[in-house]
Amino acid sequence: MLPIQVNKFGGTSMADADAIKSCVSVIERQPQPTMVVVSACAGVTNRLVAISQSQAQVERQRLLDEIIVIHQGIAEQLPASSASCHQRLQSLHEQLTELAAAPLPQQPSEISRRRDLILSFGERCSSELFTAFWRSHSAAVEIVDARDILVTDSYHGNATPDLSATKERCKSLSSLLQEGVGIVTQGFIGADLQGYTTTLGRGGSDYSAALFAAALTAEQLNIWTDVAGIYTTDPRICSDAQPLQQISFAEAAELATFGAKVLHPKSLKPAIEHGIAVFVGHSRHPEKGGTLVVPEPTTRPSIRALARRRHQTLLTVNSIDMLHATGFLARLFDVLARYNISVDLVTTSEVSIALTLDEDGSRANGQSLLPEPMLEELRQFATIEIEQGLTLIAVIGNDIGHYGDISPKVLQAASPDPVRMICQGASRHNLCFLVADSGAERIIKNLHAKL
């Protein structure tokens, strides 16, 4: 059997007709059987989110018109032989228009179900466009609805995939790929066992691609974006940031978790578990190379890169009952779990616990990061403090705790800004600290120069 490759193209790679043509050129240079996973066209998902949340029909229609203009602008550059794509796009737009015009549901379960269905139209439309452009170069291309093959639970907005069931449904695709048929499908979306559309959370297209790579036992997953790989830090902050040719799974997972936008944090788990190499490259400039993520890189430096994650919230829980008591942490995390709150960093003292929460990632389905009913439960046994407007900075490398000069450099780079939290020791691959948004870029520049 020929080794399979899965290629994922993000929103910027799907931004316009020229961008999609560049993606098709990338695919045509690959001799292996290929599955393509696409995100929604740039700007579409944000508009769909707004449609799902807006109470005003006039506003929903305005946003819908903007989405149709984006898709039609791309479709106009299709060859004349692609009339069927225009028909399918029109059908999808009509379905979306009808859904947006319908009375808003009142039940929370119906609201979240409707939201996921609305959001799915971004990828469903972009995949039609990609398929049409690819078919203009190769007749052997099939589009597959991800909702028919990616099985999830019923937690709308941030569904959990069932990889075993997904593997079973992908078996027929392996045969098509081995016969030389290209497959196009959607990232970000799936369906539960009842057939309801679900989404994997914002940025979940990478996750979808990794799941499909695992389900198909692919040799490599290629993530195509608007940068030539992973850098030592964000090049928009530090002009001297350098591209990394190769990094380990562990380093990549840390970078993705702590804010490197080129990889979705969840996407690496299926790749790591199945030993699938991950390549990150520039879809418009593949000749620039990129970063290969592998189990065993050729080098393991103490410091590999810096990452940042903005929009962090610091929740501090104080209670004298913690002192020499048992079960307090369990009680706290039980409350957080019941509200599906994802905690990142944790520090404790005798009577206090400080937790960081990601405002962008913890709640991907439009609900409040810290629901008031949850806060009321916490206030029954503790006092709470909430700080916002914070940035998490992570130093990523190998055996960081074995080097005594790293922590002093971090504090020196941060001065005179206060460090609100610092965490080291739980992982050999990171040292993390929390600072105010206002000073984060200055600190990253200082630290990048020192390390």
User: What is the H or E stretch that residue 183 is in?
Assistant: strand 182-186
Please state, in angstroms and rounded to a whole number, the distance separating the CA atoms of residues 391 and 447.
15
Binding site, annotated residues for substrate: 45, 123
Please state, in angstroms and rounded to a whole number, the distance separating the CA atoms of residues 215 and 183.
14
Residue 354: CB partners within 8 Å, gap ≥ 6?
314, 315, 316, 317, 346, 347, 348, 421
Q: Three-class SS of residue 121?
A: helix
What is the 8-class DSSP label of residue 152? B
CB of 308 closer than 8 Å to CB of 259: yes
What is the signed CA dihedral for 60, 62, 63, 64, rounded to 10 degrees?
Answer: 80
91, amino acid identity:
S
Binding site, annotated residues: 8-11, 45, 123, 225-226, 231, 236, 261-262
Question: Read out DSSP for 44-102?
Answer: HHHHHHHHHH---HHHHHHHHHHHHHHHHHHHTTS-GGGHHHHHHHHHHHHHHHHHHHS
* Token couple for 308: 């940042």
Helix ranges (DSSP H) in 275-367: 328-338
Binding site, annotated residues for ATP: 8-11, 225-226, 231, 236, 261-262
Phi (first) and psi of residue 208, to 5 degrees: -55, -45
Please state, in angstroms and rounded to a whole number, the distance separating the CA atoms of residues 33 and 1.
10
